[in-house]
A and B are shown apart, each in its own frame.
Chain A
Amino acid sequence: GAGVSQSPSNKVTEKGKDVELRCDPISGHTALYWYRQRLGQGLEFLIYFQGNSAPDKSGLPSDRFSAERTGESVSTLTIQRTQQEDSAVYLCASSRTSGALGETQYFGPGTRLLVL
């Protein structure tokens, strides 16, 4: 597609429920990232996928957070037993490849999650 897409655009859930957020990267982009943006703050790195390599999960805040990616396609971020502190905008980005060239990351429009 023309850009990174994410769904849903907005999600309201009750505390304790599980949610799944989806990201479709730009076709041909091997690297995919998830970030979290709390209200009025900058973006925090969550997880990074590069091709078929093991993902870098160093930014995940707790074991309630997990993400999957099949090959170089769609990724799903899952939050189990949601808490009110999980309320944020979750942004996905993709780039052509990793390496020393510093490829630009292109962002999707994000999913705004509200946990009641």
Chain B
Amino acid sequence: AQTVTQSQPEMSVQEAETVTLSCTYDTSESDYYLFWYKQPPSRQMILVIRQEAYKQQNATENRFSVNFQKAAKSFSLKISDSQLGDAAMYFCAYRSGFGNEKLTFGTGTRLTIIP
């Protein structure tokens, strides 16, 4: 079974600074997808960024980028120019490229933005 580990329960960053959230995963599969979701107090899970395992290039979405290290099974999220609206719980998630489409989530990192 796949597992996803987020070792940082809480992180804080000064507004306009850069922060990196860590995620590692364990799988024996070669085809899979990785996601970062953001969950603000409204509870709505919002997709931040996704990465296909077969792609070597790291995904980027505006101020959000990932560092995908397939051999190390690491998938960190970098947030540049942090904004107050980035404050939320961030979840890393894994999805197999085969069979059931379910997402396996980590336990989350609570990100606080310091004005």
Contact = CB atoms under 8 A, between A and B. Distances in A.
Interface of A: 31, 33, 35, 41-45, 48, 50, 56, 58-59, 89, 91, 93, 95, 98, 100, 102-110, 112
B50 A48 contact: no
B78 interface: no
A43 B100 contact: no
Given A42-B106, A42-B108, A104-B47, A33 B91 contact: no
B108 A89 contact: no
Contacts, number: 64
Contacts of A31: 101
Contacts of B47: 104-106
Contacts of B105: 42-44
B86 interface: no
Interface string B84-103: 00000001010101101111
A45 B102 contact: yes
Given A33-B102, A42-B105, A59-B102, A102 B95 contact: yes
A107 B38 CA distance: 11
Contacts of B101: 31, 33, 48, 50, 95, 98, 103, 105
The 3 lowest CB-CB distance pairs between A and B, nearest first, are: A42-B105, A107-B45, A102-B33
Contact of B100 (A35, A44, A58, A93): A58
A105 B42 contact: no
12 contacts: A33-B102, A41-B107, A41-B108, A42-B91, A42-B105, A45-B102, A45-B104, A98-B101, A100-B98, A102-B33, A107-B37, A107-B44
